[in-house]
């Protein structure tokens, strides 16, 4: 294995330091480290060094929708965005509701080599919300599944949700809920409010998310389980999670980059690139989400990277698929919305995008580790002074459905290291 010296990087945004990688681990962190015997020296003055990012919410689409993404293209996109581990959502075809499917995804991840892939198992068979999947079998499989989610669909039956929350306690699992009351969102196309009233698009009311979150934190309290809330999107949801945490309920929550930046005003263009679930909300919600991420009410940023082929977005709004790609722009959006607004420092970003997601997902032995000697060399080097216009033609993802095309965003991942091996070098996939 090779020795790599990263020179003068601001570790977690702090004072410049040298970091020596030897093989798969960080050998030394300090100043004035010798380059003797080192294979590669990376001059990183002015750049920020972070622990490799961890995404708790990625759609890799394989098996079943390889026309939009595969494990290989998705992990290449992840590495480009500075990620060293991603959690692959279960809504594939077939659904990842058996040990067989999660092991397939896990093995494809191993073969890709660009980042670690930790499969998420479906809570219910076929995501249908009726019958629990074999959660224990998925946990005991080679994939060691600990996060379970029917993402894309809400586990809306209160009894099924309660049982799932209880059942996974046996092996330290966690249920990640896609909070969407189905009856309140029949035919929903966008956030329900002044813009939907004008555009004549079916409304997705905030209460449909908030009522499920309120129910689930109370269920988690009642049965003494932990619950994770996917892509929280409203100011009201923030208040409920804040209340639950103050009460000691074991709840964690994520926010997507797009909900930190974009609002439903963009839907006026009827351009389905802005169609996503949960929908883009209002400016007031965006501000509440940023504050909640800053104060820790929201624990993590998760991308909800949702690739779709061009034809599923190049159509009228109602016919279009919901979702946006996000792995390759997430860190830039967080830099713009949280760091450059002074709401979060780089140590805070490391927590929200690496330490905390690894902890919630049970990957803390490998990922989301401190940048110090003896730790696995999962690292991301960021040129924070970079400014560039997003051009989806340069994406590693197979899909191009980004809402940021043509938009200037700050920051660029120059290097990503997965256990000491560079997956990205000088901003390009290795």
Partner 1 sequence: MKRHLISAADLTRDDAVLILDTAEEMARVADRPIKKLPTLRGRTICNLFFEDSTRTRISFEAAEKRLSADVINFAAKGSSVSKGESLKDTAQTLEAMGVDAVVIRHHASGAPYRLANSGWIDAPVINAGDGTHQHPTQALLDAFTMRRRLVGRDAGLGKGLDGRRITIVGDVLHSRVARSNVDLLHTLGAEVTLVAPPTLVPVGVENWPCEISYSLDEVLPKSDAVMMLRVQRERMNAAFFPTEREYSRRYGLDAARMAKMPEHAIVMHPGPMVRGMEITAEVADSDRCTVVEQVANGVSIRMAVLYLLLGGSEPAVTTARTEENK
Known binding residues for substrate: 59-61, 91, 277, 308
Q: Where are the alpha helices (DSSP H) in 119-274?
A: 135-140, 158-167, 194-199, 206-223, 235-246, 257-261
- Kindly state the helix (H) or strand (E) to which residue 290 belongs, with its residue range: helix 283-295
Residue corresponding to tokens 């030394």: 28
> Measuring CA to CA, which residue among 405, 396, 384 is closest to residue 327?
396
Q: Toward partner 1, which CB reaches closer, 295 or 314?
A: 314
Q: Does 284 bind partner 1 (CB under 8 A)?
A: no
Residue nearer to partner 1 on the CB measure, 267 or 301: 267
The token duo for 278 is 């949960």
Catalytic residue among 299, 304, 312, 383: 304
Report the distance separating Cα 156 and Cα 184, nearest Å: 11
Closest CB to partner 1 among residues 55, 285: 285
Of 139-147, 200-208, 214-222, 242-250, which segment contacts partner 1 by CB under 8 A? 200-208
Q: Is 322 near partner 1 (CB under 8 A)?
A: no
> What is the β-pairing status of strands 147-148 and 174-177?
parallel
Candidates 46, 140, 270, 391; binder of partner 1 (CB under 8 A) is 270
Q: Segment contacting partner 1 (CB under 8 A): 210-218, 312-320, 337-345, 409-417?
A: 312-320
Q: Which two tokens stand for residue 120?
A: 């998420």
**Phi and psi of 208, rounded to 5°?**
-70, -30
Minimum CB distance to partner 1, residue 392 (Å): 17
201, 227, 292, 302: which one binds partner 1 (CB under 8 A): 201
> What residues from 153 to 192 belong to the interface with partner 1 (CB under 8 A)?
189, 192
- Residue closer to partner 1 by CB (options 190, 262) is 190
Confirm or reject binding of residue 377 to partner 1 (CB under 8 A).
no
In the complex, least distance from residue 309 CB atom to partner 1, rounded to whole angstroms: 12
Sole binder of partner 1 in the list 70, 196, 225, 399 (CB under 8 A) = 196
Closer by beta carbon to partner 1, 140 or else 311: 311
Whether residue 22 lies in the annotated active site: no
The stretch near partner 1 (CB under 8 A) out of 6-14, 308-316, 324-332, 415-423 is 308-316
Alpha-carbon gap, residue 205 to 194, rounded angstroms: 11
Which of these, 174, 165, 92, 94, lies nearest to 139 by C-alpha position? 174
3-class secondary structure, 421: strand
Token digits for 72?
Answer: 């290989």
Q: What minimum distance in Å lies between the beta carbon of 196 and partner 1?
A: 6
CB count in 10 Å sphere of residue 132: 18
Binding partner 1 by CB under 8 A: which of 128, 295, 311, 391?
311
State whether residue 284 is helix, strand or coil.
Answer: helix
Is residue 406 part of the contact set for partner 1 (CB under 8 A)?
A: no
Q: Which of residues 330-369 bind partner 1 (CB under 8 A)?
A: none
Which CB atom, from 40 or from 194, has the smaller least distance to partner 1?
A: 194
Q: Please work out, in degrees rounded to the nearest 5, the angle formed at the alpha carbon of residue 11 by the alpha carbons of 10 and 13.
A: 60
| Alpha-carbon distances, residue 373 vs 254, 268, 377 (angstroms) | 30, 51, 9
Shortest distance in whole angstroms from residue 204 CB to partner 1 = 11
């Amino acid at each position: 294995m090779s020795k790599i010296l990263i020179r003068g990087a601001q570790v977690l945004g702090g004072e410049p330091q040298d970091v020596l990688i030897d093989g798969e681990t960080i050998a030394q962190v300090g100043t004035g480290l010798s380059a003797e015997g080192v294979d590669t020296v990376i001059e990183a003055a002015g750049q920020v060094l972070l622990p490799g990012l961890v995404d708790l919410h990625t759609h890799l689409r394989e098996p079943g929708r390889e026309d939009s993404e595969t494990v290989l293209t998705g992990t290449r996109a992840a590495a480009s965005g500075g990620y060293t581990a991603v959690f692959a959502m279960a809504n594939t075809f077939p659904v990842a509701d058996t040990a067989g499917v999660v092991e397939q995804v896990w093995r494809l991840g191993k073969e890709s080599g660009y980042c670690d892939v930790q499969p998420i198992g479906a809570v219910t068979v076929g995501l249908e919300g009726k019958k629990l999947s074999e959660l224990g079998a998925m946990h005991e499989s080679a994939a060691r599944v600990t996060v379970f989610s029917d993402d894309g669909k809400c586990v809306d039956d209160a009894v099924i949700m309660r049982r799932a929350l209880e059942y996974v306690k046996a092996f330290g699992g966690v249920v990640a809920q896609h909070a969407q009351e189905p009856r309140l969102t029949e035919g929903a196309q966008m956030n329900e409010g002044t813009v939907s009233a004008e555009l004549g698009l079916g409304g997705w009311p905030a209460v449909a998310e908030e009522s499920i979150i309120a129910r689930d934190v109370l269920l988690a309290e009642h049965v003494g389980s932990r619950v994770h809330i996917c892509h929280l999107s409203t100011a009201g949801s923030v208040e409920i999670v804040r209340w639950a945490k103050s009460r000691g309920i074991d709840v964690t929550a994520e926010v997507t980059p797009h909900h930190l930046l974009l609002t439903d005003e963009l839907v006026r263009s009827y351009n389905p690139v802005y169609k996503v679930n949960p929908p883009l909300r209002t400016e007031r919600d965006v501000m509440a989400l940023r504050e909640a991420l800053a104060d820790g009410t929201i624990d993590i940023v998760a991308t909800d990277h949702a690739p779709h082929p061009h034809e599923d977005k190049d159509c009228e709004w109602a016919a279009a698929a919901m979702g946006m790609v996000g792995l390759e722009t997430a860190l830039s959006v967080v830099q713009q919305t949280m760091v450059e607004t002074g709401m979060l420092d780089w140590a805070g970003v490391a927590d929200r995008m690496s330490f905390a997601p690894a902890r919630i997902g049970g990957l803390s032995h490998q990922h989301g580790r401190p940048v110090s000697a003896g730790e696995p060399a999962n690292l991301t080097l960021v040129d924070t002074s970079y400014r560039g216009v997003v051009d989806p033609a340069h994406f590693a993802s197979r899909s191009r459905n980004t809402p940021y095309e043509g938009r200037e965003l700050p920051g660029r991942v120059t290097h990503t290291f997965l256990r000491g091996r560079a997956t990205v070098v000088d901003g390009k996939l290795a």
